[in-house]
């Protein structure tokens, strides 16, 4: 069950954090992270949850989601965990629990808070010493949101669109938040 700071209402944007069981590593290689992102893509479409930002760390994951349905993340997260657990079992014979039982979900409301939350998520690898700059970490949404790289997983939030009239203006304004 999730530890929620608010009910999961339809159209609510949530910052979701999912930690590895006993804070152990969740990913051992690029193939694991790619499998997780594929599973997230599949589950987010099925549960009608837009993903605005993400960062896959060593022992946890950050997601910024908006669900069109009430309790969308409450359905998405267990489904995602199940698919990824099956992947680990098939690849490595892994039988242990991968994730902590619960995920944390906090509401993100105001424009400034939403953009700050996106920056927090995408700067997480830099703060953890995994990358020198957000652009250097391939397992986050930064390169999509700031540099315009294609990422089928990302759906821009309405507040992201308020950063500029053109995609180039939005990317430049977003990247300037990291300077």
Residues 98-157 have pLDDT tens digits of 887 788 999 998 888 999 999 999 999 999 999 999 999 999 999 999 999 999 999 999
Residue 33, number of CB atoms within 10 A of its CB: 17
What pLDDT does residue 95 have? Answer: 78
How far is Cα 38 from Cα 151, in angstroms, rounded to an integer?
11
- pLDDT for 42 beyond 70: yes
How far is Cα 6 from Cα 4, in angstroms, rounded to an integer?
5
Q: Which of 63, 162, 67 is nearest to 110 (CA)?
A: 162
Average pLDDT over residues 150-166: 96
What pLDDT does residue 7 have? Answer: 54
pLDDT digits (tens, 9 = 90+) for 70-89: 889 999 999 999 999 999 99
How far is Cα 119 from Cα 52, in angstroms, rounded to an integer?
11
How far is Cα 120 from Cα 122, in angstroms, rounded to an integer?
6
Q: Which of 138, 150, 155 is nearest to 44 (CA)?
A: 155
What pLDDT does residue 52 have? Answer: 98
Q: What are the structural domain ranges in the chain?
A: 3-176
What pLDDT does residue 24 have? Answer: 87
CATH for the 3-176 domain, from 3.20.20.140, 3.30.70.1290, 3.40.50.2300, 3.40.50.720:
3.30.70.1290
Return the bridge partners of 49, or none. 67
DSSP per residue over 57-72, as a string?
Answer: -SSEEEEEEEESSTTH
Looking at every residue in the chain, the average pLDDT score rounds to 91
What pLDDT does residue 70 have? Answer: 87
């Amino acid at each position: 069950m999730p530890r929620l700071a608010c009910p999961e209402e339809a159209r609510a944007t949530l910052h979701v954090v999912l930690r590895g069981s006993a804070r152990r590593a969740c990913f051992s290689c690029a193939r694991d992270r790619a499998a997780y992102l594929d599973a997230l893509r599949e589950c987010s479409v099925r549960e009608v949850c837009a993903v605005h930002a993400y960062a896959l760390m060593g022992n946890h994951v950050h997601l910024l989601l908006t669900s069109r349905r009430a309790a969308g993340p409450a359905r998405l997260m267990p489904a995602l965990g199940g698919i990824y657990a099956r992947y680990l079992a098939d690849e490595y014979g892994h039988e242990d629990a991968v994730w902590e039982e619960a995920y944390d979900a906090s509401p993100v409301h105001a424009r400034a808070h939403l953009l700050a939350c996106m920056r927090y998520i995408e700067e997480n690898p830099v703060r953890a010493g995994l990358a020198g700059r957000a652009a250097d970490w391939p397992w986050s949404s930064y390169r999509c949101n700031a540099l315009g790289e294609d990422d089928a997983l990302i759906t821009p939030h309405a507040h992201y669109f308020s950063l500029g009239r053109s995609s180039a203006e939005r990317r430049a304004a977003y990247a300037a938040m990291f300077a």
